[in-house]
Amino acid sequence: MTEQNGIEEIREIVTVASAARRSRLTITTVRRYVHRGLVEEPITEEDLATLRRVRRLTGLGINLAGVEVVLHMRRQIEALRAEVDHLRALIDS
Question: What residues make contact with another protein under the rule CB under 8 A?
Answer: 1-15, 17-18, 22-24, 42, 45, 48-49, 52-53, 56-57, 59-62, 70, 74, 77-78, 81
- Residue 72 Cβ, how far from another protein at the closest point, in Å? 12
Residue type, 6: G
Alpha carbons 13 and 19: distance in angstroms, whole number: 10
- Residue 47 Cβ, how far from another protein at the closest point, in Å? 12
Residues 45 and 14: beta-carbon distance below 8 Å: yes
| CB of 18 or CB of 29, closer to another protein | 18
Residues present in the chain in total: 93
